[in-house]
Amino acid sequence: KAGVTQTPRYLIKTRGQQVTLSCSPISGHRSVSWYQQTPGQGLQFLFEYFSETQRNKGNFPGRFSGRQFSNSRSEMNVSTLELGDSALYLCASSPTPQNIQYFGAGTRLSVL
Amino acid sequence: QKEVEQDPGPLSVPEGAIVSLNCTYSNSAFQYFMWYRQYSRKGPELLMYTYSSGNKEDGRFTAQVDKSSKYISLFIRDSQPSDSATYLCAMSASSGTYKYIFGTGTRLKVLA
């Protein structure tokens, strides 16, 4: 069974640009969560989607948004990038929101 | 006070040592307790999970949950250099407002 797939693995952008990250969950998993991981802050919860609906949202500015498609694939978008957005962005999937989460390898975003 | 507290380390031990990693938490609603291992520049990998109190063993790894003390532990026996990684505890509550909370991670280095 294939794991959680995140694309791209690496991204380099400049300040002010926008970026879209993609996540394909484990087959049969309908819940997708996104996290930002930085050395200083650890894992910070961004948002969670289930059945194309955002169920929970973390404490991030509106520049961070996401969506989920009918096939459970999810995308997150960051607009007007700032230097502080440089981080490892992780996607995790689970069969339902209350279940154990399984992570992808992450997308490493560098903002110059 | 954070809901989940985890000593960031780093923790350095000689090969073959028994390693003890711990987390404390404050929310008595947590029912699922997970341990993830994260190698440098990779996504977290689920190691073990337990429901409610008790012990669970898997090979060299043992997870313990003491709900009365709000304390969870991961023991690694016969530690190997390949165990060098960051270990994250996580916990979730399925009643009331659903939460999936991570500790900040403990960096472990096993010296050959």
Specify the 3-state DSSP secondary structure of B29.
Answer: coil
Average pLDDT in the A73-94 region? 97
Alpha helices in B1-94 (DSSP H): none
Residue of A56, A103, A108 best to disrupt the B interface, most CBs of B under 10 A = A103
User: What pLDDT, on the 0 to 100 scale, is given for residue A96?
Assistant: 85
* CA B75 to chain centroid: 9
Amino acid letter at A16?
G
User: What pLDDT, on the 0 to 100 scale, is given for residue B95?
Assistant: 61
Contact A81, B30 (CB under 8 A): no
* CA A39 to chain centroid: 17
Q: Is the peptide bond before B81 cis (omega within 30 degrees of 0)?
A: no
Q: What is the CA radius of gyration of chain A?
A: 13
**Residues facing residue A47 across a β-bridge:** A34, A57
User: What pLDDT, on the 0 to 100 scale, is given for residue B93?
Assistant: 81
Joined together, the tokens standing for residue B46 give 């689920």
- How far apart CA A15 and CA A100 sit, in angstroms, is 35
User: What pLDDT, on the 0 to 100 scale, is given for residue B111?
Assistant: 96
Residue ranges for chain B with pLDDT beneath 50: none
User: Residues of chain A with pLDDT > 70: what percent?
Assistant: 99
- How far apart CA B85 and CA A16 sit, in angstroms, is 34
> CB under 8 Å to B98, separation ≥6 — which residues?
A55, A56, A97, A98, B92
Contact A90 B44 (CB under 8 A): yes
CA of B51: which chain A residue's CA is closest? Answer: A100
pLDDT band of A84, cuts 50, 70, 90: very high
Q: Which residues of B touch A90 (CB under 8 A)?
A: 43-44
* pLDDT, chain B, mean: 92
| B5–chain A nearest CA distance, Å | 12
CB distance from B94 to chain A under 8 Å? yes
Contact A100 B34 (CB under 8 A): yes
User: What pLDDT, on the 0 to 100 scale, is given for residue A60?
Assistant: 95
| Nearest CB partner across the interface for B49, out of A6, A88, A100 | A100
